[in-house]
Amino acid sequence: MSISENIRTIQTRITTACYVINRNPAEVKVLLATKTIQPPLLIEALDSGMFLFGENRIQEALPKVQALDGRGVEWHFIGHLQSNKVADAIGFAQCIQSVDRPSIIKSLHKELEKSSKIMDIMIEVNVSGEASKSGCTPDGVEELCRQIDTSVLNVVGFMTIGANTDDEVIVRRGFAKLRRIQAQAIEKEWVRESATELSMGMSHDLEWAVQEGSTMVRVGSAVFGNRKI
Ligand SMILES: *Cc1c(COP(=O)(O)O)cnc(C)c1O
């Protein structure tokens, strides 16, 4: 299958999932997770109308950002972020989706104060409680939000990685939890009302995420094929 066919399949899956719950498919953006994928395939995806790309590793992102310069890509950072890589992330990403701990917020403040930039971020929450996953605990969201200097950081929403199981009930429960956390954060004014993004759902569980309110699915293997690593 070609990349353009795979993208069409993703869009059909989203439309079908939306149809079931009477949701407008236009509310769901597709971000392509581009780890291990080289520029020629990324250009094919751009030619198929995709422009939201997410990278996990700074070292891997920088040459790709350069190779695709001028093509209108909106880069997000979606991987585990280290404090010493924050300056690089700010340099190319329009949004950092993986903000999950105070030390990263501190580093972001420090770097952003040097520039006059305001950075879009999402709070990554570990809704499944799996030890292998990044993300702050659901109970830690309030405290994390309180540490954010809103003059330099703009929280646009929340991100999570679904539970590592094919049990629909468990996976959907996690996505529903992120949605509740977001609603609560807005209601209690931990974040602004504009923090509406829910970045959740990947190749294997995007229908469940869409049905639980996802506004952005992050898709890699279903578009580019299985990664070797
Ligand atoms: C790789 C990755 C994805 C996409 O995963 P697939 O299963 O290939 O669709 C989504 N989000 C994050 C954070 C990733 O690292």
Q: Which two tokens stand for residue 225?
A: 């094929």
- If one counts the domains in the chain, the total is 1
Query: Domain range spanning residue 177?
Result: 3-222
Span 150-189, pLDDT tens digits: 999 999 999 999 999 999 999 999 999 999 999 999 999 9
d(CA 28, CA 99) in angstroms, rounded, equals 22
The pTM score is: 0.97
CA–centroid distance, 87 to ligand 1, in Å, is: 23
With a cut of 70, say whether residue 229 has pLDDT above it. Answer: no
* Domain presence at residue 204: yes
Q: Which atom of ligand 1 is nearest to the CA of 35?
A: 1
pLDDT of residue 139: 97
* Domain presence at residue 228: no
Which is nearest to 98 in space by CA: 132, 117, 121?
121
* Domain presence at residue 227: no
pLDDT of residue 88: 96
Residues touching ligand 1 (Cβ under 6 Å) are 33, 35, 56, 78, 161, 202-204, 218-222
CATH of the domain at 38: 3.20.20.10
Confidence of residue 227 (pLDDT cuts 50, 70, 90): confident
